[in-house]
Structure 1
Amino acid sequence: MTLRFSHRIIAGPRDNIEDNLGLARISLPIHNQTATVAVIADGVRGEEGGEVASAMAVKTLIAGIVTSLSALAGAFEAALPTPEEIDTLLAHAMTAANRAVLGQAAADPHLKHMATTAVCVLAVGDTLHVAWVGDSRAYLYTQGELRRLTRDHTETQRLIDAGCLDPARALWHPRAHRITRCVGQTEGFQPDLTTHRLSPGDIVLLATDGLTDVLGDHKIGQILHMTADDRLSMDEAARQLVKAALLACTSDNTSVLLFEPIPVAPGLERTRTGAFPPAFFRTRQPHEEGAKL
């Protein structure tokens, strides 16, 4: 397997960037397979140190998942880890990120309230595992359909679920951006977990609320449809998504990370330099061009 991916981070109308993202490949000693882990995080608005919290969450999550999955796969070389084992691994990694953010907040009075959303996906074999807290989202474009894989942890989503709020009015609600779970939560931290089957040609999208607050699923699906049909490259799709958010007057940083696992012939797993970069992280950049491996 190789990987097509692209990413983009823009400040939007804000002076600072609190979004962060990262992606890594993990070599598994099982039939020469690889796994892909991707994370996107958005520092909680209005709190000092949001960019510190999101960067720490991304790096802690990726480092923990790479280490744990490599150890787990090495212990059982004949078969891939079970979905239950991977869910446990992701829950532990999210909990470790929460502890790391809380520890840094306790050590620095200027960061005592810092927190971040986080959504993490791990593709192993033909299964996509998802873990998240907050309102950054994961989507899967598969067989001509866009599926939202996450459910926002927000006050407005709680009101919608209770039948007390029309979803069309959620963005203008006074509590529209009040999240109910985050990395940096002092009590009751609990990520949500879900799994989905992957098919050839699927596209995974991670996005912060700078995109999803102003673009509906229909518009996002249109752009990914053109990517699946090869009318847009992965890089072009990332640029189109953030451009559409800007045109829709987003009020926040906007970040997207797209990737598509695709099969290749044996021996083509390396980059042009002959080595596969194990991970990349993007933090506090005004914008980032995409990349392809």
Structure 2
Amino acid sequence: MSQSHQQPALSKCPGCAEPPAAGDLFCGVCGYDLSAVPARPGDRPTMAITVPPAASGSEAVRWPAAAETDSSDVPAPVHRPSDLPGTDSGGRPLAEQEQVQEPGAAAGQGAAVGPGPEPVGGPEPSAVPVRHDDRAVPGGAEHSGDFALAAPDPRTAEHAAAAAAAPAAGGKVCVACRSGRVDPDGYCENCGHAQPRERDHMEQELGSVAAVSDRGLRHHRNEDSFAVSSTALPDGSPAVVAIVCDGVSSASRPDEASAAAANAANESLLESLPRGTHPQQAMHEAIVAASEAVNALAQEPAGAMEHDAHRHQNAPACTLVGAVMAGELLIVGWVGDSRVYWVPEDRSRPTARLTEDDSWAAQMVAAGLMNEAEAYADERAHAITGWLGADAYELEPHTAAFKPDRPGLVVVCTDGLWNYAESAEEMAAAVPADAQEHPLRGAQVLVGHALDGGGHDNVTVALLPFAVRPQGAGSACETV
């Protein structure tokens, strides 16, 4: 397209800054000769920057490969255009060996920035422009003569701050930003996000026994606890242990009570079973040891008791249920309303609940005052009549011994699960078909079943596969 060359129109007089009238050759105020204004310079089209063809035998430009992201989640460094060989607007190769003259220094005494080929047809080294990317040079940036960028890359600055706050080896990492250190109070130093408690969700798999515990969807903390372990009997045969405890929410420090009871019962069984104590007697002793551990929590120092005179009337409390597989025996023990179910491997066989609740509903049914449906529909149904704690009426550990004649699965759980699968048939229907071979996955599915049902309570379940060879019909059962 052709362009016309006209005298540029002025918005104001160069002499007095007054706007001239249209078509005036002289300013009407100061008489300035408006025709003396220099003409518009000729247009200079933009020159394309082209890379000259590589010389014969020379290699093509190799682009540096970006570094991979490391475990700190800091992104790979960005390669700026100045990091690569190129040409200036005249098509000449840029010098890669630049020399910057420091103020007050003689010509030719500037600091060499980096090795590179001599410029071809370019300016002298002393006239090379100063870079603005502030590369690291020997002697420090303050001696390089380079100008720093006006502002750092905000993404790099953000990740640099996160990397500075990253925890040392073995420390906890924030679940939100994945880079900040978690303070002892449970908050991230980098983003301030509150971290989930360690007991909000717990899983453990030990050989053929597995357990899962979850806070649920309504409670602010997980007041359940569990312990799974294994040991050997005097004859060398294995013994597997699972203990599940449910803290009483109306009592103080229920989470501490359940943890203390589970640990004490587990340690007692691991100490008595290898000595040859009968598993049923060992279970009784374990429940007593758990009760003593919970009672000890109520023994507050005198100073603490002065601030809460009624603290001793609301002592820490919990329920307990446990199972031991030793030899050909299955031993269960309990205090409270946590339960043990038996689910045979052959689902056509009958299932069974192996425990009886220490609850108001169970008492009404046992006394013949209500049927089971009426009792458990009452709002008082889940009021427990037995528990571990300093304010318990009287400790009455229940134990039972079974000798299964077929393989099956032992389900040890709190009411956070069986509230959504109360009968033995409902529990068997909720247990996945492959739980016998994959107990951890089966426990995860059962916890998910409770959460899908509403998750109104903490949920804890332990699964113990029981493998035996068929020995005929019937099974022995002895209850104490």
In the superposition, the TM-score normalised over structure 2's length comes to 0.48
Conserved? CA contact 1:44–1:50, under 8 Å? yes
**2-structure distance, mates of 1:14, 1:186:** 24
**1-structure distance, mates of 2:430, 2:381:** 26
**C-alpha displacement of 1:200:** 5.5
**Residue of structure 2 aligned with 1:61, choices 265, 284, 307:** 265
Instruction: State the partner residue of 1:273.
Output: none
Larger relative strand fraction: 1
**C-alpha displacement of 1:51:** 0.7
One-letter code of the match for 1:159? M
**C-alpha displacement of 1:24:** 0.8
Q: Which of these two proteins has the greater Rg computed from alpha carbons?
A: 2
One-letter code of the match for 1:238? A
Larger relative helix fraction: 1
Q: Does 1:219 align with 2:455?
A: no
**1-structure distance, mates of 2:246, 2:428:** 22
**1-structure distance, mates of 2:325, 2:436:** 22
**2-structure distance, mates of 1:212, 1:25:** 26
Bigger shift: residues 137-146 or 221-230: 221-230
**1-structure distance, mates of 2:286, 2:359:** 22
Q: Does 1:179 align with 2:384?
A: yes
Correspondence list, 1:273-284, <5 A: none
Instruction: State the partner residue of 2:341.
Output: 139
**2-structure distance, mates of 1:262, 1:156:** 34
Conserved? CA contact 2:342–2:411, under 8 Å? yes
The DSSP-based 3-state class of the residue aligned with 2:298 is helix
Bigger shift: residues 99-108 or 116-125: 99-108
The DSSP-based 3-state class of the residue aligned with 1:164 is coil
**C-alpha displacement of 1:94:** 1.0
**2-structure distance, mates of 1:65, 1:235:** 22
**Residue of structure 2 aligned with 1:248, choices 430, 453, 463:** 453
Conserved? CA contact 1:14–1:252, under 8 Å? yes
The DSSP-based 3-state class of the residue aligned with 1:188 is coil
**C-alpha displacement of 1:37:** 1.2
**Residue of structure 2 aligned with 1:15, choices 220, 232, 235:** 220
Q: Does 1:100 align with 2:293?
A: yes
CA separation of 1:3/1:261 partners in 2, compared to 1, >3 Å: closer, same or farther?
Answer: farther
**2-structure distance, mates of 1:103, 1:229:** 38
The DSSP-based 3-state class of the residue aligned with 2:250 is coil
Q: Which runs of 4+ in 1 moved over 4 A?
A: 108-112
**2-structure distance, mates of 1:177, 1:229:** 30
**Residue of structure 1 aligned with 2:332, choices 114, 121, 130:** 130
**1-structure distance, mates of 2:318, 2:262:** 10
**2-structure distance, mates of 1:205, 1:4:** 13
Conserved? CA contact 1:223–1:237, under 8 Å? no
One-letter code of the match for 1:247? D
Q: Percent identity?
A: 27
Q: Does 1:26 align with 2:227?
A: no
Instruction: State the partner residue of 2:409.
Output: 203
Conserved? CA contact 1:36–1:123, under 8 Å? yes
Conserved? CA contact 1:129–1:194, under 8 Å? yes
One-letter code of the match for 1:191? P
User: How many residues are treated as equivalent by the alignment?
Assistant: 248
Render the CA deviation track for 1:242-273: whole Å, top value 9, x for unaligned: 2221222242111111121458xxxxxxxxxx
Render the CA deviation track for 1:137-187: whole Å, top value 9, x for unaligned: 111222433211100000111012222223224444231221111111544
Higher RCO structure, 1 or 2 (CA under 8 Å, sep 6+): 1
Question: Can you give the 5+ residue segments of structure 2 that lack an aligned partner in the other structure?
Answer: 1-205, 306-310, 469-480
Conserved? CA contact 2:432–2:442, under 8 Å? no
**2-structure distance, mates of 1:18, 1:229:** 28
Question: Can you give the 5+ residue segments of structure 1 that lack an aligned partner in the other structure?
Answer: 74-80, 264-293
Conserved? CA contact 1:87–1:193, under 8 Å? yes
**C-alpha displacement of 1:199:** 4.5
The DSSP-based 3-state class of the residue aligned with 1:26 is strand
Conserved? CA contact 1:3–1:259, under 8 Å? no
Instruction: State the partner residue of 2:315.
Output: 113
